[in-house]
Amino acid sequence: MAKNKFQGNSGPSQRQLRVGELIRRTLSDVLMRGELHDPDLSRMSITVGEVRVSPDLRIATAFVLPLGGDGAEEAVQRLARHQGELRHFLGKQIKLKHVPELRFRVDDTFERMDRTREIFADEKVRQDLDD
Provide CB contacts within 8 A for 73, sequence distance 6+.
106
pLDDT along the chain (131 residues), means of 10: 50 90 95 87 88 94 88 91 93 88 88 68 71 61
For the chain, give every domain's residue range: 11-130
Q: Where does 11-130 sit in CATH, by number? A: 3.30.300.20
Quote the pTM value. 0.76
pLDDT for position 80: 94
- Residue 13 has phi, psi (to 5 degrees) of -75, 165
